[in-house]
Amino acid sequence: MLNERGDTMAKKGISVGILGILLLTMGTQVALGANNALMEKTGTIFHEYSKSEKKDSEIFACGKNGAIVRVSDIKQGIEFYMASGISETEAKEKSVNFYLKREAMYQKAIQEGYDVTEQEISDYLEYLKEFLNSAENQEDFQEVMSQFDSEEEYWQYEFEVYKKDLPIINYTEALQKEFITNYNNTYSNSSVGNVMDEWNNYLEEFKSNLVAEENFEILQEIE
């Protein structure tokens, strides 16, 4: 049975995932501790797309429940995934898949009451700063941040990112807690590893179902 210790491990797993989001916002599974060149490229991409001239109002896709994916997001994702060494075709597929799921999850989180205040975002970023300062791969984080003009500019960029990511994180944590409780009631002798594997599979299926429910309309192709 997943006990209090197991629940703590689960939360730690979420924290690691959050660190991945912070360093690699597109949610890719590129291993943390990657080479400096990749981290430098990642920071450069984030910095370029944080500038107002890189952001646009062109919409790539709209969902029936209000989810909107912008062209600039997809392009940023493509650049990032290609920097990890995959083809442009695969990078486009991964970027589209990530952003459709992200926007569908965000809409669902807001519908379920997980919207956040600016103060909550600021408080969470303070937590992340402390977390990263003691992380084993803090050099990766520093390499990403160094591509911005200042540390302040970097954290302002993350503030904008977490306007959507924090509601998703909070909603995901609530879903995970409910899933683990139900799983423990059904499989009392399961190990932590088994529970987390089942949770990850459930979460991916949950996101895919949300995308299907949004029934996204693709408004234009990415050139």
Task: Give the tens place of pLDDT for each residue, 8-17.
Answer: 333 333 333 3
Query: What confidence score (pLDDT) does residue 213 get?
Result: 96
Please answer whether residues 195 and 10 qualify as being in contact, where contact means their C-beta atoms are separated by less than 8 angstroms.
Answer: yes
Q: How far is residue 93's CA from residue 219's CA, in Å, rounded to a whole number?
A: 16
Coil, strand, or helix at residue 147? coil
Please provide the size of the chain in residues: 223
Answer left, alpha or beta for residue 33, where phi above 0 means left and psi between -120 and 50 means alpha.
left
Query: What confidence score (pLDDT) does residue 56 get?
Result: 66
- The Cα-based distances of 2 to 16, 182, 184 in angstroms read 19, 11, 6
Q: Each residue of 98-148: pLDDT tens digit?
A: 999 999 999 999 999 999 999 999 999 998 888 888 877 788 888 888 999
Using a cut of 0.85, tell me whether the model's pTM lies above it. no
Query: What confidence score (pLDDT) does residue 214 get?
Result: 96
Answer left, alpha or beta for residue 172, where phi above 0 means left and psi between -120 and 50 means alpha.
alpha
Q: Is the pLDDT of residue 29 over 70?
A: no
